[in-house]
Structure 1
Amino acid sequence: MTTPRCLLFDCDGTLVDSEPLLAAEMAASLNTLGLPFTANDYITEFRGARFKNIIHELQQRHGSIDPDRLQHTESEMRSNLAQRMATELTPLPGVIEALDSLSDYPRAVVSNGPETKIRNGLEATGLSHYFGDRLFSGYTANCWKPDPCLFLYAARMMGFDPEECIAIDDSIVGVEAALAAGMIVIHLNRYPDAEETPDGAIPISNMHQLPTIVTHLVRTEAVTT
């Protein structure tokens, strides 16, 4: 086994507590289109999924929506979300402490969201300096979780083999993508009553636990090799 050397973090729901804001704005926007959707639907069923895929699934269930209306509504939703994130967004508990503790490791953000959204979220929460420009978006790579290609792209751009990377993600789609990429995966399972950690991933319940897990993984691999 290769000693882990690089940390790849999801953004929404892993570093920043944006998902309640996103779920609320998504529900309001989709309801105006006549697509039944609640904030809880996002949390329990669609968390971490690409917006386009959510729209596709809802139209399969409830009927098609005019593409122009969809585009306008999505633009309006993203604008409203950006405004709320600028003033309401906070880092998740334990994130700053974990990033400070793990400062010796190269790290990056790997997210399905647009790069502008990632950057705005990090800036609003004071996390930008931890990552600099090491932000890898599905829209830049033109591939999205649960496809492993986004994590593989991030590892390649960071200069590491997949097996040298630890991926930290809160969503099942992200965990499955990183596992398929051949990475060590830590699942931040904030909703243990709603989902189970996939086989092969390491569950944690909060980010305060992350430094201990990473240190243990590195020491274990060093001993076995």
Structure 2
Amino acid sequence: MFLLAHKRYEILLLDFDGTLVSTLDSFVYSANKALSLMGFNVSLESLYTSLTKPFDRVVESLVGPLEAMIKQELIDKYIEIYNTEGYKYSKPNRGALEVLDHLTNNGVKLGIVTSRTLLCDSIQRTLEHLSLAKYVSTLVTARDVARPKPHPDQHLLALRRLGGTASHALSAGDSPEDIQGSRGAGIRVAAYTKGFYTYDQLAPYNPDYMIHELTELLQLF
């Protein structure tokens, strides 16, 4: 393993869903079970298409208008299933373990910056389940700030927690919001094209780098 003799960046801020970890199977499993228990029948194809966005935002597009109490009960059931079973269906994206292990062994600090609100409580559990928790120095969720991504507040908070500056940090994510949040914080950003958004969807936002594999991050440090 080569050493990072002259690090270009000292901090890496990673998006969670779709970037560091492949979580779509977990979303679909949890939603499918919650919907079935509540008497709704939704195709797996529809779930895989819709659940690139949070369940609470898309549930009525899947099943139609719902009374507020029924909708909340369905969301609560989804969260319960995800937190107890569903998270186990997540897996690290290819190259994630190699990147985290190599960078932390060479003194790079790692933080996670995630837009999650519904499922924040399961992130640490997922990291531990996937043997990734030991690499992560800070976790910033959408609950931690008044203005989450695409605003820069989450990235700025992560920098403060890690004791770093924007000029010595790199961010990586798979969504336009990741690019916008990073850019607003003055952080260079690598757009990951194998998450929830494609190359063509990300390119118009002009990220500093475009990567197709997480291991390409190693070439940037």
* Both proteins in one fold, TM over 0.5: yes
Aligned partner of residue 38 in structure 1, secondary structure: helix
C-alpha change, 1:33 and 1:189, in structure 2 (3 Å) is: farther
TM-aligned CA deviation for residue 157 of structure 1:
2.0
Partner of 2:173: 169
Check whether the contact 1:148–1:177 (CA below 8 A) recurs between aligned residues: yes
C-alpha change, 1:202 and 1:26, in structure 2 (3 Å) is: farther
Partner of 1:156: 160
Of 115, 138, 141, which residue of structure 1 is paired with 2:142? 138
Give the partner amino acid of 1:108: G
C-alpha change, 1:39 and 1:71, in structure 2 (3 Å) is: same
- Unpaired stretches in structure 2, ≥5 consecutive residues: 1-7
Using the alignment, how far apart are the partners of 1:201 and 1:70 within structure 2? 40
TM-aligned CA deviation for residue 4 of structure 1:
2.9
Using the alignment, how far apart are the partners of 1:22 and 1:194 within structure 2? 24
TM-aligned CA deviation for residue 26 of structure 1:
3.9
Partner of 2:128: 123
Using the alignment, how far apart are the partners of 2:150 and 2:66 within structure 1? 25
Query: Under a length normalisation based on structure 2, what TM-score does the superposition of the two structures give?
Result: 0.77
Check whether the contact 1:85–1:124 (CA below 8 A) recurs between aligned residues: no
Partner of 1:97: 98
Does 1:88 pair with 2:125? Answer: no
C-alpha change, 1:51 and 1:140, in structure 2 (3 Å) is: farther
Partner of 1:222: none
Using the alignment, how far apart are the partners of 2:97 and 2:17 within structure 1? 15
Using the alignment, how far apart are the partners of 1:21 and 1:135 within structure 2? 20
Using the alignment, how far apart are the partners of 1:64 and 1:206 within structure 2? 40
C-alpha change, 1:91 and 1:74, in structure 2 (3 Å) is: same
- Unpaired stretches in structure 1, ≥5 consecutive residues: 216-225
Partner of 1:39: 48
Give the partner amino acid of 2:158: A
Using the alignment, how far apart are the partners of 2:168 and 2:26 within structure 1? 34
TM-aligned CA deviation for residue 156 of structure 1:
1.9
Of 9, 22, 26, which residue of structure 2 is paired with 1:17? 22
Partner of 1:111: 114
Aligned residues: 203
Using the alignment, how far apart are the partners of 1:10 and 1:92 within structure 2? 12
TM-aligned CA deviation for residue 193 of structure 1:
6.3
Does 1:68 pair with 2:69? Answer: yes
Give the partner amino acid of 1:205: H
Aligned alpha-carbon RMSD (Å): 3.0
Check whether the contact 1:33–1:65 (CA below 8 A) recurs between aligned residues: no
Query: Under a length normalisation based on structure 1, what TM-score does the superposition of the two structures give?
Result: 0.76
Of 192, 195, 199, which residue of structure 1 is paired with 2:198? 192
Check whether the contact 2:29–2:86 (CA below 8 A) recurs between aligned residues: no
